[in-house]
Amino acid sequence: MQVETYEVGEVTSTVEQSEEAKKLVAELGLDEQERFYAPDQPAVCPYRKMTAAEAFVYEQLLPVKTKFHKFGDEAIPLRVLQVAAHALTLFDKDGVKGDLMVWHSRNADIKDPLLVLSIQNGSTTERFILARWGEILENFTTLTAKAKELWKAERIAEVAKGISDLETYRNSIDAIVESVFAKGTSRGIYVSTAW
């Protein structure tokens, strides 16, 4: 079993904790930087944020999101359990709530589940990629190609359904016209063009 984790190191240990830095952050009004220099602030995540591209690719390939404590499709490797435990110790305190989810496929087409930490930050949710595991961990370029093909196939199916719906409508237009004029209204007669 292979495991890939996404730590960026102990963030707070790499930040220079000097009085000068704290003073400059305050003087410059860098509200988002204060947490790096104030130990009483909520923890800074030592895992990296999930990019928009990663979120899109993984959501295409791994559309099922199961709460970590409810995931039972397969055994979770020890290293992933350790990462999950560490993440929860950082974020289940000080008013910050971390929510661990396992993203996975419906039918094991993609056999590499993904551990994601979601943190509610006011009205927004930040997602952090923590770990991935499986027999063969395909690289992100390969996963992107698979996600593109899947997305494309779904769009082709939508277009085909739209064409079929329009053909059905066109073939029954005479009956629809008779119905509309017999009732004196076209209410309830719609052509679906949502695709």
Contact indicator for 114, 4 with CB cutoff of 8 Å? no
Same domain, 126 and 156: no
Q: What is the pLDDT of residue 72?
A: 83
| Secondary structure class of 99 (helix, strand, coil) | strand
Same domain, 55 and 118: yes
Same domain, 129 and 160: no
Asked if the structure places residue 78 within a domain, the reply is yes
Same domain, 76 and 164: no
CA distance 42 to 61: 33
pTM given for the model:
0.67
Joined together, the tokens standing for residue 27 give 């003087």
Question: How many domains, in total, are found in the chain?
Answer: 2
Contact indicator for 133, 113 with CB cutoff of 8 Å? yes
Q: What is the pLDDT of residue 51?
A: 93
Q: What is the pLDDT of residue 38?
A: 61
In which residue are the tokens 């589940």 written? Answer: 113
Q: What is the pLDDT of residue 61?
A: 92
Same domain, 176 and 108: no
Q: What is the pLDDT of residue 166?
A: 86
Q: What is the pLDDT of residue 65?
A: 94
Same domain, 106 and 158: no
Same domain, 62 and 118: yes
In DSSP terms, which residues pair with 139 in a beta bridge? none
User: What range defines the domain where residue 176 resides?
Assistant: 144-183
Same domain, 134 and 60: yes
Taking only the tens of pLDDT, the chain with its 195 residues reads 899 988 885 444 444 456 677 777 777 777 777 766 665 544 566 888 999 999 999 999 999 999 998 888 888 999 999 998 888 877 655 566 778 999 998 876 778 899 999 887 777 888 999 999 998 899 999 999 999 998 899 889 999 998 888 888 888 888 888 888 888 877 766 655 554
